[in-house]
Each structure stands twice: as structure tokens, then as C-alpha cells.
Structure 1
Amino acid sequence: MTDVRRRFPLTAVVAAVVLGGCAATAQPPGPQVEATGSATPSSASAPAPPSLELAPSSPTPAAPATPAARDVDIRTATLGNAAAAPARPPSRVVYERLGIDMPVDPVGVTVDGAMEIPPDAARSGWYRFGPGVAPESGTTVVAAHAGSVATPHGPFFDLRGAAQGDTVQVSAADGSEATYEVVAVERLAKATLDLAPYFRRDGEPRLVLATCGGEWNEARRSYEDNVIVTAILVAG
């Protein structure tokens, strides 16, 4: 999978992912407007949060526990090992007020620890080592380039116009749907961004949408910031 997807810089990402390498080959879609407001292994085998030059080191599934005695099933004491439920992969995200309607692909991390991002800005990527749609707990992370060669102005470019109180619908691959309400919109410098708080597997169910934003750095062929939209689950 890593050979068909372009990295999304996750350095500091959202512990999710730092979107630092957002569209290294993309042309800037237009002037930036600052936003206001603020597959699936168990958690025991999930890799550390990727960077948003977007990616952690390649995950290696944990080896199955070896029983100490013939009739005794041994489980590790790692947090979440026994309770982890299979994630429902998202297949589409719709942010109606901003006109965003995007397919979602499952992605992992690159060998140097960044979250993978689909190379075409018309498609978004779901961090498949984290929670899926409407989980019992934890944050579902979906990221996309603001622009790319194939799609100079990607749908997520418009996330800078997100606002608290907006609703976002996420469809799961099994046909079910969930609704989230936006509670924070942030534009954060990639150089200092700590993404770990965004890639959580605990806490109330949340959705994080991430892309690049801020000023375009022509020398680096990248934006200086990440736009991160956080929403809480209200139905699903």
C-alpha cells in the first residue's frame, strides 16, 4: 500500500498526524483563509501515533499469546487488549455546509513513521490503526491533501471555513452512518504541532479531519500549517 500512496507529513500530525508533507507536488489552490475556533489490529498491536508529515513506523502485529498450560488461555495486561472491538472502516465523509463529499480509503504509515495520505486530493485517508466509525471510545482520524497535481483544489482545502456547531456525516463500509458535531477548528504550525492528543484510542468518540493550511512555502513545496477540525459523536 505504501508504494501507491504519497505521505502526508505527520511530524508533530495529530497523534495523530502532522500533515507536514501535504502535497509536496501540489500547486497551492489559492489564498489561505485562517480557520476560526479552536484491517484493524487491537490497541495492543497498533503502532505509535504517526507524524503529520503523516506516519509512524510500519506496524508489526503482536504475536498471539502462548498458553502456559494446555487449558489456560493467557492474555496480556496491555490496556485495551481484551476490550478492543473491530473498527468499522469509514467509506465516505460528508461536510454538507462546506460542500465536501469525499471517499475514504484505509491507510497506514510509511517506513519513516508518517501517516500515509492518498496522492489525489479528491480522496481522503482513514488511519486504520485507530478507531473507525462511531467507536465506543477514541478518535477517528481522516486526512487529505489540500491540493494535488490531479486535483489542485481538494475538498479538504475548504476545511479552513469550518465552524463550531457544523455537522459532519461519516458512512461506514457496512452501510451504517454516524453524525458528528464540530467543536474545534485549529490552524497549527507543523513545526511545533504535537499530534498525539488527536490519535487517541480512549476518551469520548471523536472525529478529526486534517489537512494542510497556512502559508505556501514554495521552497519546500508545502504549506506551513495543518488545519485540524475536531468533532464529537452525536448519533450513530
Structure 2
Amino acid sequence: MSVPTRALMVTACLVAAAGCAGTTDATRPAGTGNRTSSDVPSHSAPAGSAQPVPPARRAESVVTPRRPTRVRLPSGRVVPVSGAGTTGSGVLDVPDDVDVAGWWRGGSRVGDPFGSILVAAHVDSDSEGLGPFAELLAVREGARVRLAADGLGQDFEVRSRRLVPQGSLVDEGWIYDAGGAVRLTLVTCAPPYDASRGGYQKLAVVTAVPVGPPEES
């Protein structure tokens, strides 16, 4: 929904936390910054002792992480997933269409070995009624969810469903943290709904863990 009072609130600290987890260029070891070639010890190898080095190859178990493009909910409903950022006020910019979920670009991807893969969608809208993510309000532990990317998919099992207050998530870093064990975090709005206080007063946060490695398809 485009109505700010029903938006999923994610404070600017979320953006800052994500920035710390981004990929950076390899840094130079301490103490080597201003060395000249004369400062570096020279070790001469005996003539004829050099051996050819085979080229490095990626292990078959390693996949290239990719952003999610769809999620299959426990009911079997497949929901397309688009990328989502945050607004200047720190609101997670979830797609207005309740039939489309948003993947937070600051989080982990399918195939990443660490962190939260955060996918959120509105629970309903005035014009469209209930959306697919409404089923998360009653999802049970052990339910299966499949997250897919282009040519890559991974199955997850629901471990918990928690209700947290709408508003600042500064004390709920586990929802979006790019560190720790890899997990899928599904988020939507939850009752009670109070128009005088801005809309839904809770967020339903469903955490699911992998039941197997990501698979190429």
C-alpha cells in the first residue's frame, strides 16, 4: 500500500547496519602501506625448482548468490518478489501491489552463507483486499517455503512466528541482520488495526531455516 500509516517501518539504523555488511575490496595487511621494494625480503628459489600452479576452480558445492525473484508460500501460492529499498524516513518501500513481495536489497540473497533474507509484503489493501502474505498470520512451525532466484532455489522450514510492534526496529536487529546463520525472514502487517493510531499496530515476523543447500535449476 502507498498509505504511509500502513507501511512497514524500518528505521535508518537498518540501512546503516546493511552498509557495514556490504562487500568491500580486499584491504592491504597492516604495516605494508608504505614499503618500497627494498623493504621486502627477497627469497630466491633454486633454479629449476619452480612448479606450475594449476588454475583455481570453484568448488561444485559453491553457488553464486542471486537475488530472490519469487517465493512459494506453505499454501503453494507463488508470489513474485521485486527488489525493495528504504525511503528517506527509513520506511521499507514494499510494493504497493499486495500480490507482489519486496526483497530488501541490503540483506542476504539466495545462496549467501550468512544473514537474513528479508522478504516483506502488505497483508491487505483497501482496493485489493487480503494479499497472499495474510496466510503468514496463521502459519505453523514446520511449514515449508521455497525461495527461488533465476536458476537457483532453496527450501526453508518455518521455525517461529513472532509479533513485534510497528515502528522502530532498532531493538529487532535479528529481522534484518546480515550476520549469523542464513535464514529466510518473511514480514507482513498484523492486527490489531487502529485507524486512529496509524493502522496496523503489529508486524508478523516468520523465521524459516534452510532444509538443504541451494540448488541450481
Aligned length: 180
1:48 to 2:12 alignment: no
1:156 aligns with 2:139: no
Aligned to 1:146: 123
Confirm or deny: 8 A CA contact 2:8 2:189 kept in the other structure: no
Question: Matches of 2:90 and 2:81 in 1, distance apart?
Answer: 21
Shift of 1:215: 0.8
**1:63-111 superposed Cα distances (whole Å, 9 cap, x missing partner):** 9799967999xxxxxxxxxxxx974110000013x34320000111111
Following TM superposition, by how much is the alpha carbon of 1:10 offset from its aligned partner in structure 2, in angstroms? 2.1
Distance 1:49 1:150, change over 3 A: farther
Question: Any idea what SS the aligned residue of 1:142 has?
Answer: strand
Task: Report the TM-score, using the length of structure 2 for normalisation.
Answer: 0.70
Is residue 166 from structure 1 mapped to residue 148 from structure 2 by the alignment? no
Return the match for 1:189 from 149, 157, 165: 165
- AA partner of residue 70 (structure 2): R
* TM-score normalised over the length of structure 1: 0.65
* Alpha-carbon contact 1:100-1:155 (below 8 Å) kept: yes
Letter in 2 for 1:94: R
SS of aligned partner of 1:117:
coil
AA partner of residue 48 (structure 1)? A
Is the counterpart of residue 93 in structure 1 residue 71 in structure 2?
Answer: yes
Is the aligned partner of 1:115 residue 2:83? no
Q: Which segments of structure 1 move beyond 4 Å, counting only runs of 4 or more?
A: 4-7, 61-72
Farther off after superposition, 107-116 or 176-185: 107-116
8 Å contact kept, 1:107–1:126: yes
Listed as ranges, the gaps of 5+ residues in structure 2 are 38-62
1:138–1:6 CA distance, 2 compared to 1 (3 A): farther
Report the equivalent of 1:209.
186
The 5 Å alignment of 1:115-134 reads: 115-134=92-111
Q: Aligned in 2, Cα 1:12/1:204: closer, same or farther, shift over 3 Å?
A: same
- Match status 1:231 vs 2:199: no
Structure 1 residue 135: Cα displacement: 1.4
User: Which structure ranks higher in relative contact order (CA pairs < 8 Å, sequence separation ≥ 6)?
Assistant: 1
CA RMSD of aligned residues (A): 3.5
Greater share of helix: 2
For 2:146 and 2:24, the matched residues in 1 are separated by 36
Query: Which whole-Å CA distance do the structure 1 matches of 2:24 and 2:109 have between them?
Result: 23
**Matched residues, percent identical?**
29
Question: Structure 1 residue 9: deviation in Å?
Answer: 2.8
1:157 Cα deviation after fit: 1.2
**Residue identity in the other structure for 1:9:** L
